[in-house]
Chain A
Amino acid sequence: MLQPSEQAPSFSLPQLDGGVRRLEQGKPALLVFFETDCPTCQLAIPYLNRLADALGGEAEVIGISQDGEAPTRQLVEQLPIRFPVALDHGLAVSREYDPQAVPTLFLIDGDGKIARTSVAFDKAELNAIATEMLREPFELAGKHDGAPATKPGCVARHLEPQTEGELAPTLNLYAERGSRASRFELGEDVDPYEFCYQAGFADPLPVIPPTVERVERMLGATTLAPDQIVARIPPNYGMATVEKIAANAVMAGCQPEMMRVLVPLIKAICDERFNIHGVQATTHFAAPLVIVNGPVRHELDFACRSNVFSNVARANSTLGRALQLILTNIGGARPGELDMSTLGNPGKFSYCIAENEEENPWEPLHTEFGFDRNQSAVTLFAAEPPHGVSEHNAREGRTVLKAISRALATVFSYRFCVGWEAVVALCPEHVKTLNRSGFTKASIREFLFENTGIPVKEYEDDGGEGTQYAQLYQRATINGEECYRKFADPSQLKLVVTGGTAGKFSAVIGSWATGPRGSQMVCYPIESVPRAVASESPSAGH
């Protein structure tokens, strides 16, 4: 929006009563941008009528309607409006002056400069404008005339998305650029934190209000244009522009550098293989678990040691929260609406870990997806909450793995086999035991696959009720007992080394439906930090 002391752009607009309306040189003018269906505009206009009457010919009030001729004429006759009104067809002048809300007043002095602006309805500002234009104290708006002292306006038409009626364009799934986000101007008596909650921006915890300044700082950390569409987020296929992602990242408490991770993360979550549509809409527990690998862990201070699943680091907590805010605010899967999960998942506040690669004697997770160890990456898994495996007495790796296999048998439900996967979060102490016993990642997976089964006799309860799928399962003898194999293949088990170096606590994290008929894990690269501008600048004088 143009600000005081800037030159007012000239214009030439058709006047409602015929002729053309321009700014007259040497004559102060008050431009009034309005919409015909805006209650605040309708509240303000009678005051401006009185100002126009008081001004005589020395200065003028010019209305600029952001609507078409018919509704403007109707409003002019009904209210009525007694000052001249011009029609901003195509909203070109609106874009130049760029008022964020209506009504917005621009007071232009005799030299063609903007002397003052006023947004929405504000009695004190109306009085100040009248006093300045009439060059003597003038009370245009009394304290006790029944109108409020201030009233917020409506979003200006040129910033408004077209959302209804036949004029709204059909969803264009291939456009690379979207629209800029609209803005909310809060009155001084409005608490921004409470506003964010009431306006539905937040999860139920307070968010950082996404002010223009904060969002701009976030946008400053990326070279992408604010209106660039990163992805369309199911189930509503809302356009996640860089600006919308940045606004949600601000609310989650992210630092601007996190844009580097958020952009590939949002692309990954919308990868068809991950099937975020189903993950968001299921009644199951599933929530996307974010696993961070590579140098970015240290560059952005992700926690990968003790308390890795909990409230230990700003990076983990805010990245996980930003993802959830984006999924609900842009994707539309709000709890209680499109997300009708029966019990939910505490991970829907934030669910982000990093691998403790320093304590991993084998290859880290992202290398299994083909990335180099030094490439930062983010992996997604549609996950249940973690299920702890405490094993403190085992001296041998195989004993640790047998304890884990008992927990794996309960993934999804004890007697349900084949269709599920699991992430096994191995703690460093268990990893040491396994490594000492000569296990590799491949042999761990193989051992867990071979040793995780459900005894066939478990399917004999209640006349076999609820076990009709058992005929599809593979039989195997495990520990001398006839069992059904829990998993179809060792590749259904993913291993991540994470957590603190003290304590023999690993965890099994069950999946939602998997494979092409459910959600598949995806791993996306995170670009490395661009070389600092300082290091590239010429070393003048040396």
Chain B
Amino acid sequence: MKTILINPLDETPRAVGAPAPRLDSLAGKTIGLLDISKWGGSFFLDHLERLLKERYGVEQVVRAMKPTFTKPAPAEVIDRLKQADCAAVIEALAD
């Protein structure tokens, strides 16, 4: 007798999005830095901000922070980065 199994895995239909186009260069761009609000995030992101400006010629850095690292970023935080018209956003954490 043949065995027929019910698929127990996730079969939720989803639209597949394409990754955003990569940047050719960081020079002159506005870059967002999103801190997920872990203990050491600011040390790391302060250093990253310096590097982006000094070594890669980034024009402006916009900083944002999630209210808690345990949950996805709320709409206000995403909106803030969107309104700043960032060419790219780097999300980072450090313990």
- Among A100, A169, A277, A330, point to the contact of B9 (Cβ < 8 A): A330
Asked if residues A513 and B70 are in contact (CB atoms below 8 Å), the reply is yes
- Among B1, B14, B67, B72, point to the contact of A163 (Cβ < 8 A): B14
Asked if residues B70 and A181 are in contact (CB atoms below 8 Å), the reply is no
Knowing A278-B70, A282-B70 touch, does A329 contact B10 (C-beta < 8 A)? yes
Asked if residues A209 and B70 are in contact (CB atoms below 8 Å), the reply is no
- Among B4, B12, B72, point to the contact of A211 (Cβ < 8 A): B4
Chain B residues near A237 (CB-CB < 8 A):
12
Asked if residues A171 and B71 are in contact (CB atoms below 8 Å), the reply is no
Asked if residues A211 and B6 are in contact (CB atoms below 8 Å), the reply is yes
Q: How far is the CA of A164 from the CA of B12 in the complex (A)?
A: 11
Taking the closest CB of chain B, its distance from the CB of A448, in whole angstroms, is: 25
- Among B3, B8, B67, point to the contact of A181 (Cβ < 8 A): B8
Asked if residues B12 and A239 are in contact (CB atoms below 8 Å), the reply is yes
Chain A residues near B68 (CB-CB < 8 A):
513, 517-518
Decide if A500 is an interface residue (CB 8 Å cutoff).
no
Knowing A278-B70, A513-B70, A517-B70 touch, does A181 contact B13 (C-beta < 8 A)? no
Taking the closest CB of chain B, its distance from the CB of A301, in whole angstroms, is: 25
Q: How far is the CA of A337 from the CA of B6 in the complex (A)?
A: 24
Please tell me the size bucket of the interface on B.
Answer: 20 to 34
Taking the closest CB of chain B, its distance from the CB of A225, in whole angstroms, is: 15
Chain B residues near A513 (CB-CB < 8 A):
68, 70
Chain B residues near A185 (CB-CB < 8 A):
2-4
Taking the closest CB of chain A, its distance from the CB of B3, in whole angstroms, is: 4
Taking the closest CB of chain A, its distance from the CB of B52, in whole angstroms, is: 26
Q: How far is the CA of A181 from the CA of B12 in the complex (A)?
A: 10
Q: How far is the CA of A164 from the CA of B16 in the complex (A)?
A: 6
Decide if B15 is an interface residue (CB 8 Å cutoff).
yes
Q: How far is the CA of A215 from the CA of B9 in the complex (A)?
A: 14
Asked if residues A332 and B4 are in contact (CB atoms below 8 Å), the reply is no
The listed residue with most A CB atoms (<10 A of its CB), out of B5, B14, B67, is B5
CB closest residue in chain B, given A171: B14
Chain A residues near B83 (CB-CB < 8 A):
none
- Among A168, A169, A215, A232, point to the contact of B6 (Cβ < 8 A): A215
- Among A119, A168, A200, A209, point to the contact of B5 (Cβ < 8 A): A209
Closest 7 CB pairs of A and B: A238-B10, A278-B70, A247-B8, A517-B68, A161-B11, A186-B3, A247-B6
Chain B residues near A192 (CB-CB < 8 A):
3, 5
Q: How far is the CA of A517 from the CA of B13 in the complex (A)?
A: 31
Taking the closest CB of chain B, its distance from the CB of A198, in whole angstroms, is: 12
Chain B residues near A165 (CB-CB < 8 A):
16
Asked if residues B4 and A171 are in contact (CB atoms below 8 Å), the reply is no
Knowing A517-B67, A518-B68 touch, does A212 contact B4 (C-beta < 8 A)? yes
Decide if B7 is an interface residue (CB 8 Å cutoff).
yes
Besides the known contacts A171-B14, A187-B2, A275-B70, 7 further A-B residue pairs in the complex with CB atoms under 8 A apart: A162-B13, A166-B15, A168-B16, A181-B11, A185-B3, A186-B5, A518-B70
Chain A residues near B71 (CB-CB < 8 A):
275, 277-278, 517
Q: How far is the CA of A195 from the CA of B9 in the complex (A)?
A: 14
> What per-residue 1/0 map shows which CB atoms of A7-36 lie under 8 Å from chain B?
000000000000000000000000000000
Chain B residues near A179 (CB-CB < 8 A):
11, 13
Q: Which residues of chain A in 197-243 are interfacial with respect to chain B, using CB atoms and an 8 Å cutoff?
A: 199-201, 209-212, 215, 232, 236-239, 243
Chain B residues near A66 (CB-CB < 8 A):
none
